[in-house]
Chain A
Amino acid sequence: MAIDFTTADPEALQRRRAIRNDPVQRYRRLVEIRAAEARIREFHSSGQAWGTTHCADGQEAVAVGLAAAAPPTDLFWVAHRVHAMGLALGCTLESVFAENLGRTTGSVGGIGGSFHLTDVGVGLIHSFTIIGTQIAQAVGGAFASQVLGSDRVTVAVFGDGAVNIGVFHEALNLAALWKAPVVFILENNHYAEFTHVDTVTTVTPLARRADSYGIPWRVVDGQDVESVTSATTAALDHARHGGGPTLLEMSTYRYLGHSRSDPAAYRPEGEADAWHERDPIKVEAARLLSEGLATDDDLSAVDELVASDIAEAAEIAYSAPNPPLSAMFTNVWAPDPPSGGSAGSVR
């Protein structure tokens, strides 16, 4: 059964497409992601949301740049720090907020929580909390494109914490062997949980690992949405036309701690300041202004629009119902096994 894109939420699909060719919309999405994650943290600090949450403040350009580069039918297999990627791909603010709040209107009905979003209609197959696991799965998705004769490319998005786990290497080997139409996005925010990347490997740049498998790679400025988009577009085209996989290392920085309980006291003083100088929102604003694509007033208007979108979506998400008990027992098994077995009797 092929993935059914016809069930896509029209609003999400519209959001998915909006940023493809419009730099002002890309700017707006960057601002939206920053503000949405702040709102998610408020849900937690005020006791309205439970569990943990992993924010990507500072990394917004990677998410938006990737989403802008790919057509809606390409499939993304993403790591746990997923609010940014989900919103960039078009997931609605309501669905992301509601998933964080455990509401039935969440991306996966409140079953996944902060770090498990799915919206296949906009190409977000899922987000994964076991480090590196999705890299192999994305290669398999790319292999399916080959067998099915589809021109779909898959994108595996993972962090610097994933490059030393076995499945990363196994997946790269398979991708090269099959010349699979997959793009590997190594989002290097320099910290795996609390540990700086330099303390856990001797091989840098991290993307050099791709040489072991004969896979082309490059390091990209992950603070600049347009650099991310152009590098990713080239890699997607290469894959789509039979050139096989590429690994792109997006150099970026996580402003906050690993999760909401981490104040990031381990950072050396001043380290974050250098990255804030090249904040992805500032970089994109400067480009829009210098290229005459927007005025200061336009950008202020975007900020206001985003603030009102966030407030409205938060209200709607918070008012949505909690999942009923039946939701706990739904989707464990596929309906109507064609073999004639009864899913209802599964013990």
Chain B
Amino acid sequence: MAMKTYRQAINEAIVGEMRRDADVILMGEDVAGGAGGSGEDDAWGGPLGVTKGLLSEFGPGRVLDTPISEAGFIGAAIGAAASGLRPVVDLMFNDFVGVCFDQVVNQAAKYRYMFGGQDQIPLTIRTMIGAGLSISSQHSQSLYPVFSYFAGLKVLVPSSPYDAKGLLTSAIRDNDPVIFCEHKLLYDMTEDVPDEGYAIPLGEASLLREGGDVTVVALSRMVHVASDAAAILAREGIETDLLDPRTTTPLDTESILESVEATGRLVIVDESGPRCGMASDIAALVAEEGFGDLRAPIVKVTPPHVPIPAAPNLEALYVPDVNRVLDAVRRVVAY
């Protein structure tokens, strides 16, 4: 056990599974970090350094830099998965799914079903989500609700280094296509992470804080915003159940409903949009199946329904912050 970053934890999960299983291969843009140039090999490891060191250990036969060609290489990864490999493919920013949407949602998601179960797609797509780097509308979105729409895709949104390693390990071992969403502002977050490999089961929420007054469900980086808010609220005497679903498909509906049954109040903090997003999905779940337990209206804390601006002051207003969570919780408690 040692303090490790989210970046290191992800790297360790990939390394661990590549050592354990020779069928695991890695491909994507820049994953080998400047492969083929005459300078330093393995210089970079993806734009944020997550896969550094893999080329040196596993060689160019298993760590492949691809052209900027997402439909091509994600399609190829699907074909490789159907043919006996277990590819981990890097869709650098989740926004880029726009150019390979067919491969992800029509092909990977539906293959097994449309094959009549004759084959499977053990494929992991790693991709970055989230705002906060002032890189505007096409590099900052959080599209996990889009992926979650499609039956056949599993969708993971780890909020911490420990979860990232355990969930990515599960993703790579899973026999279905998995979208693994890495929040780009979390890469430098550290916590104790075991050196050995471990798998966190998919579909099990993590209860990060127990209280009886209000249920706060938060996803990915919003878990930390909600956690900061919960600490302040505790000083006001408001005790929070803070629940991180960790995976949006499968979604641990039972834990959410159980918590709301106890608290009667629900606030959802989500960086995906206010329309057709995870907050809306979870609100609908509780409205349908937990209505009788509610003592106050459900409140969603999400960005506004706009594209994401680059200007730092506007971007900071776009992303939900602690004050918005505090307001929401105080409102439902006072209702």
Q: Please give me the residue from chain A that is nearest to B148 by CB atom.
A: A347
Pair A337/B202 contact, Cβ less than 8 Å: yes
A interface secondary structure, majority: mixed
Q: Bound complex: CA of A191 vs CA of B107, how far in Å? A: 25
A13: B residues at CB distance < 8 A? none
Pair B85/A144 contact, Cβ less than 8 Å: yes
B122: A residues at CB distance < 8 A? 1, 334
Residue among B62, B79, B106, B170 having the largest count of chain A Cβ atoms under 10 Å? B79
Given known A174-B69, A338-B173, A341-B202, contact A136–B76 (CB-CB < 8 A): yes
Q: Please give me the residue from chain B that is nearest to A146 by CB atom.
A: B61
Pair B67/A118 contact, Cβ less than 8 Å: no
B322 to chain A, nearest CB (A): 30
Sampled A-B contacts (13; CB under 8 Å): A1-B122, A3-B82, A107-B116, A112-B116, A137-B107, A139-B75, A140-B80, A170-B73, A332-B113, A334-B112, A334-B176, A337-B170, A339-B170
Provide the A1-41 mask, 1 if CB < 8 A to any CB of B, else 0: 11100010000000000000000000000000000000000
- Interface status of B228 (Cβ within 8 A of chain A): no
A107: B residues at CB distance < 8 A? 116
- Interface status of B249 (Cβ within 8 A of chain A): yes
- Interface status of A143 (Cβ within 8 A of chain B): yes
Pair B199/A144 contact, Cβ less than 8 Å: no
- Interface status of A340 (Cβ within 8 A of chain B): yes
| Chain B, 118-162, CB within 8 A of any chain A CB | 118-120, 122, 151-152, 154
Q: Bound complex: CA of A118 vs CA of B170, how far in Å? A: 29
Partner of B79, one of A137, A166, A334, A343: A137
Given contacts A171-B76, A337-B173, 14 further A-B contacts (CB under 8 A): A1-B84, A2-B83, A3-B84, A125-B82, A141-B83, A143-B85, A332-B151, A334-B112, A334-B174, A340-B199, A341-B202, A341-B203, A345-B254, A346-B154
| Chain A, 302-340, CB within 8 A of any chain B CB | 330-335, 337-340
Pair A331/B115 contact, Cβ less than 8 Å: yes
Q: Bound complex: CA of A139 vs CA of B252, how far in Å? A: 37
Q: Please give me the residue from chain A that is nearest to B121 by CB atom.
A: A334
A343: B residues at CB distance < 8 A? 250
Pair A120/B151 contact, Cβ less than 8 Å: no
Q: Please give me the residue from chain A that is nearest to B176 by CB atom.
A: A334
Q: Bound complex: CA of A75 vs CA of B202, how far in Å? A: 33
Pair A116/B72 contact, Cβ less than 8 Å: no
Residue among A77, A109, A126 having the largest count of chain B Cβ atoms under 10 Å? A126
- Interface status of A108 (Cβ within 8 A of chain B): yes
- Interface status of B201 (Cβ within 8 A of chain A): yes
Pair A338/B202 contact, Cβ less than 8 Å: no
Pair B249/A347 contact, Cβ less than 8 Å: yes
Number of interface residues of A (CB under 8 A): 59
A75: B residues at CB distance < 8 A? 83
- Interface status of A88 (Cβ within 8 A of chain B): no
- Interface status of B39 (Cβ within 8 A of chain A): no
B15: A residues at CB distance < 8 A? none
- Interface status of B306 (Cβ within 8 A of chain A): no
A230: B residues at CB distance < 8 A? none
Provide the B243-285 mask, 1 if CB < 8 A to any CB of A, else 0: 0000101111110000000000000000000000000000001
A2: B residues at CB distance < 8 A? 83-84
- Interface status of B92 (Cβ within 8 A of chain A): no
B302: A residues at CB distance < 8 A? none
Pair B201/A111 contact, Cβ less than 8 Å: no
Given known A109-B116, A147-B61, A347-B253, contact A171–B80 (CB-CB < 8 A): no
Pair B102/A133 contact, Cβ less than 8 Å: yes
Pair A167/B106 contact, Cβ less than 8 Å: no
Q: Bound complex: CA of A171 vs CA of B69, how far in Å? A: 9
